[in-house]
Amino acid sequence: MTGTEDRDPARPIVVGVDGSEASALAVRWASETAALHGCGLHIVHAFDLAGARAVRNVYDTMEPPVTEAIRRRGDDFLEEARQTALRVDPTLTVETELSELGPAHLLIDRSAVAGLTAIGATGEGSTIAHLGSTLLAVASHGHGRVVVVRGMSHAADRGEGPVVVGLDGSASSDAAAAAAFTESDLRRAPLIAVHTWHDLRFHLLAGMPEVISDPPLAAAAEAELNDWLAPWTEKYPEVEVIRKTYLAGPDLHLIHWSESARLVVVGSRGRGGFHGLLMGSTSNIVVQRAHCPVLVAHAT
């Protein structure tokens, strides 16, 4: 099998725009990816009329000239994004949508019918709050595959480098594997599968080695990784898979690999996630710190 059944041209790639440099980068990435998937691109902008009313202390109706100005600005954002998408691929089917919903509400809602949902981010904040409440909400509550398009590494910007995926055997990990193999196959890129025996983050500070020095433990970790990869390597025989096992620190290793990757894929929740927690600590940190786009895969 080639895995082409995972590519559904009826499900568009959705990307949110707000006129910022970050959203322009997201549009470019989403357009390139839509062309690879052979699907349409749905560009959305939410101007959150209710929020604007609250800021102006107008609780009934806004003055028509103000509302019209907000709409015109939104239309301008959408048209600029549409032109960007068509410069990437003039044959791309592009639809735009202007909505009065809040940005997070709109993107989460549209992600339910999207093949993939993209949102731009800038900065390297020490907390996820630095990246904005909209991004956090969409990455945590979005459906299916959500891509945070943050600063591009040299490899990602040139469309080079491997796809990197973190695997830990959880349900979200399996969703991450499905997404990673699909993207590797489409991009004709090697896939680096990263697995750590422990989730402990500060292993280096604790004096623990980076590699698994105990042979039986190393063999067990490799066997686990091979088991998780087996159905996907069978489904995507042409994808070159490079296996990497470490003792601990999944987020540290994924961030390191992101420096030379074109895409990092993580599950929304790992094996240590608490019930009800929609985005685990590893995916949370990688979304904040990675040097290339990060795909957060939600189990369905």
Q: Which token pair is 151? A: 């600063």
Of 218, 198, 223, the closest CA to residue 208 belongs to 198
Neighbours of 141 (CB within 10 A): 17
- Sheet architecture: strand order including 41-46: 94-99, 41-46, 13-16, 116-120, 145-149, 294-297, 263-267, 163-166, 191-196, 241-246
Predicted pLDDT at 277: 39
State the amino acid at position 70 in one-letter form: I
Predicted pLDDT at 40: 97
Predicted pLDDT at 249: 85
Predicted pLDDT at 113: 95
Q: Give yes or no for a contact between 149 and 25, defined as CB atoms under 8 angstroms apart.
A: yes
Predicted pLDDT at 275: 38
Predicted pLDDT at 135: 86
Predicted pLDDT at 65: 76
What distance, in Å, lies between the first and last C-alpha atoms of the chain? Answer: 22
Predicted pLDDT at 133: 75
Query: Which string of DSSP letters, residue by residue, matches 21-49?
Result: HHHHHHHHHHHHHHHHHT--EEEEEE--H
Outline where DSSP puts E strands in 39-190: 41-46, 94-99, 116-120, 145-149, 163-166
Q: What tens-digit pLDDT sequence spans the chain (300 residues)?
A: 344 446 567 899 999 999 999 999 999 999 999 999 999 999 999 986 665 555 555 444 556 777 788 889 999 999 999 999 999 999 999 999 999 888 999 999 999 999 999 999 864 443 333 346 788 889 989 999 999 998 666 666 677 899 999 999 888 899 999 999 999 999 999 999 999 988 766 555 565 667 787 888 889 999 999 999 999 999 999 999 999 999 888 898 999 999 999 999 999 875 544 333 345 678 888 988 899 999 999 987
Neighbours of 205 (CB within 10 A): 7
Q: How far is Cα 122 from Cα 134, in angstroms, rounded to an integer?
A: 13
Q: For residue 233, count CB atoms less than 10 angstroms from its CB and return exposed for 0-12, middle for 13-18, buried for 19 or more.
A: middle
Q: How far is Cα 143 from Cα 112, in angstroms, rounded to an integer?
A: 5
Tokens 């290339």 appear where?
Answer: 292
Could you give the C-alpha distances from 62 to 57, 58, 73, 126, 229, in angstroms and in order? 10, 6, 16, 38, 55
The set of residues, in sequence order, having a beta carbon less than 8 Å from that of 62 and lying 6+ positions away, is 49, 52, 53, 56
Stretch (H or E) spanning 246: strand 241-246
Tokens 């709409």 appear where?
Answer: 71
Predicted pLDDT at 202: 54
Classify 180 as helix, strand or coil.
helix
Residue-level length of the chain: 300
Q: Give yes or no for a contact between 100 and 50, defined as CB atoms under 8 angstroms apart.
A: yes
